[in-house]
Amino acid sequence: MKGWKIAIIVVVVAVIALFWRGLHMDPRFIPTVLEGKPAMTFAAQEINSGRIWKLEELRGKVVVLNFWASWCRECRAEHENLLQVQERFGSNKDFVMLGVVYQDQDEDARRFLKEWGSNYPHLLDPKGEVGIGYGVSGVPETFLIDRNGIISCKHVGPLVGSELEKVMERWIKPMLAGKELKSCA
Amino acid sequence: MRLIALLLLLLGLTVQAAQVEEDELEAKTRDLSRQLRCLVCQGENVWESHSDLAGQMRDHVRDHLRAGESPEQIKAYLESRYGDFVLMEPPRHGLNWLLWLGPFVLLSAGALLLRRQLSLWRKPAVKVEIAALSEEQKRKIDGELARLEDE
């Protein structure tokens, strides 16, 4: 009898804990499976110059890939910070930052960049193949790709406040210095 | 005249063949898209969703099927990008077994518990122990019964 009671209590507590955890989770959050995997290679056209950028040609460099759209408010919030990132690291020959226009009209994206400024290239992804290749389900999302073409880290959401600090100080800086990243958090 | 009729017939057959091929591709696209979860919807599959991402995923499926890839290859690629979450039906491995077996285990445990509780309800709450009769008591009862019969 005592064993039965304990078993019932354990099961009830486990079920409540499961529901409790579910209630406090962001339903849009999808855990990434890409960290540590090779980044999908792509060849995509730059929105203004028309130049084709190929990821495989950037092997040996630290690449930051940011997916954004002109209709996305959070992308607008982080845009100035991304310009700061490029200003700080752009002069390093081992660093490349690329934007990828996600589910957007080319003209709207061009207008956005004209209005808010840009100091790094932005690529078009008209069929969404690059987005799918990087498991993107919403914007903004930012990826850090190491010199060997491996996705080291993925960040979902705008790079503002402590998140910007994290990406600059704990992701890009040590990676450019050739150090091993301890964690993406 | 005959030549024109023959040409028209051939043209008709070609169009029909293309139509059949297209329909097969569309059927395969539908079957596979139904197995994929729309990542920005609530419990909707890629085939039924109207979201932009689902539309792009449908196009991805269609393009890759047309290029000769098998549904399994396409599914494996998307799973490698988005994880198990992209599949409407969680694959049967690891912790996913909890999802598959959990409800049955809980249901069985509940049924056992109910059965046990019902059997407890049917039994008397207090079991009355009846002590065995001593020889003297037996003799006394027999005597009383014999006296009653004589009367």
Contacts of A7 in chain B (CB under 8 A): 109
CA of B113 vs chain A CAs: smallest distance (Å): 9
User: Is A135 within 8 Å of B57 when comparing Cβ atoms?
Assistant: no
Q: What's the pLDDT at A9?
A: 85
Contacts of A27 in chain B (CB under 8 A): 42
Q: What's the pLDDT at B105?
A: 87
Per-position pLDDT tens, chain B of length 151: 666 666 666 666 565 655 555 699 999 999 999 999 999 998 899 999 999 999 999 999 999 999 999 999 999 999 999 999 999 998 888 888 888 888 888 899 889 889 988 988 887 666 666 678 888 988 999 999 999 888 7
Nearest to A132 among B40, B57, B116 (CB): B57
Q: What's the pLDDT at A45?
A: 98
* Assigned token pair, B82: 């988005």
Extended strands (E) in B31-137: none
Q: In B, what residues contact A, Cβ < 8 A?
A: 39-40, 42, 52-53, 56-57, 59-60, 63, 78, 80-83, 85, 106, 109, 113, 116
Q: What's the pLDDT at A130?
A: 98
Calculate mean pLDDT across residues A58-78.
Answer: 97
Contacts of B60 in chain A (CB under 8 A): 127-129, 132
**How far is B151 from B147, CA to CA, in rounded Å?**
6
**How far is A66 from A56, CA to CA, in rounded Å?**
17
Calculate mean pLDDT across residues A10-27.
Answer: 82
Nearest to A31 among B63, B80, B83 (CB): B83
**How many cross-chain Cβ pairs, A to B, lie less than 8 Å apart?**
54
User: Is A37 within 8 Å of B53 when comparing Cβ atoms?
Assistant: no
CA of A12 vs chain B CAs: smallest distance (Å): 10
Among A131-145, A168-182, B107-121, name the one with the lowest average pLDDT: B107-121
Contacts of A4 in chain B (CB under 8 A): 113, 116
- Global ipTM: 0.88
CA of B24 vs chain A CAs: smallest distance (Å): 23
Q: Which residue of B has its CA nearest to A127?
A: B56
User: Is A27 within 8 Å of B42 when comparing Cβ atoms?
Assistant: yes
Q: What's the pLDDT at A110?
A: 98
**How far is A159 from B64, CA to CA, in rounded Å?**
34
User: Is A132 within 8 Å of B60 when comparing Cβ atoms?
Assistant: yes
**How far is B96 from B100, CA to CA, in rounded Å?**
7
Q: What's the pLDDT at A173?
A: 96
Q: What's the pLDDT at B1?
A: 60
Calculate mean pLDDT across residues A160-173.
Answer: 96
Q: What's the pLDDT at B12?
A: 63
Q: What is the DSSP string of B67-96?
A: TT--HHHHHHHHHHHH-GGGBSS--SSTTH
Q: What's the pLDDT at B101?
A: 87
The larger pLDDT score, comparing residue A28 to residue A52, is at: A52
User: Is A30 within 8 Å of B60 when comparing Cβ atoms?
Assistant: no
Question: Across chain A, what does the average pLDDT equal?
Answer: 93
Contacts of A124 in chain B (CB under 8 A): none
Q: What's the pLDDT at A18?
A: 81
User: Is A132 within 8 Å of B42 when comparing Cβ atoms?
Assistant: no
* pTM for this model (two decimals): 0.78
CB atoms under 10 Å from CB of A135, counted, come to 24
Contacts of A133 in chain B (CB under 8 A): 81
Q: What's the pLDDT at B17?
A: 55
CA of A126 vs chain B CAs: smallest distance (Å): 9
Give the tens place of pLDDT for each residue, A79-136: 999 999 999 999 999 999 999 999 999 999 999 999 999 999 999 999 999 999 999 9
A141 — pLDDT class (breaks 50, 70, 90): very high
Q: What's the pLDDT at B9?
A: 62
Which of the 8 DSSP states describes residue A95?
E
User: A19 vs A25, B92, B104, CA distance in Å?
Assistant: 10, 22, 18
